[in-house]
A and B are shown apart, each in its own frame.
Chain A
Amino acid sequence: TAGITQAPTSQILAAGRSMTLRCTQDMRHNAMYWYRQDLGLGLRLIHYSNTAGTTGKGEVPDGYSVSRANTDDFPLTLASAVPSQTSVYFCASSSGDTDTQYFGPGTRLTVL
């Protein structure tokens, strides 16, 4: 199985443009997450979804939105990108009672 896939692998985006980062899992996990990872700051939670049809805000949600129309997909949208959103974005999923997470390969986003 593929586990979690993310697209694109990397992207350079002009400030003010919108973009959707895609995330798909084939493990039928109920919960999915979006993190950003920046040097010195570690992984920070942007948004999460405990089950299809529900979403919630994480630690750093401003400037981002998510949707969870089905179990497998959890896209992250930047409505109007700013340079401070330059980062590596990781999608993850989990199931069970221990919240062990399975991560995708990441999307490296540069906003100029």
Chain B
Amino acid sequence: SQKIEQNSEALNIQEGKTATLTCNYTNYSPAYLQWYRQDPGRGPVFLLLIRENEKEKRKERLKVTFDTTLKQSLFHITASQPADSATYLCALVMDTGRRALTFGSGTRLQVQP
């Protein structure tokens, strides 16, 4: 069966360090993969999309990589700040008929001051 997994349920890092979150998927070759941020009590918010022909995508302090051979995406936050503390979700379309996203269960990032 098709699965999307985020390896770490929680990640604690010190302010100023780089946070690296992992997303793995199986049995599928998506055209693109997305990352979302979710704060407690709120809906997810779109951050970045990376296409299968892109190795890397950047937005301010965020960087996403996409390795279609390893079936893995890495999400990096450089110079992390306490305000970056949130749950980060990866998502991709696993059923092109539905055009709906399948989400990983998320990694809860805590940045300590």
Contacts and interface: CB of A to CB of B under 8 A. Distances in A.
Interface in B80-113: 89, 91, 93, 97-106
Interface of B is mostly: strand
A99 B36 CA distance: 13
B103 A43 contact: yes
A90 interface: yes
A99 B100 contact: yes
B103 A42 contact: yes
Contacts of B102: 45
A58 B103 CA distance: 13
A98 B50 CA distance: 10
Nearest to B46: A100
B42 A99 contact: no
A42 B23 CA distance: 14
A97 to B, nearest CB: 9
B28 interface: no
A102 B98 contact: no
Interface of B: 32, 34, 36, 41-46, 49, 89, 91, 93, 97-106
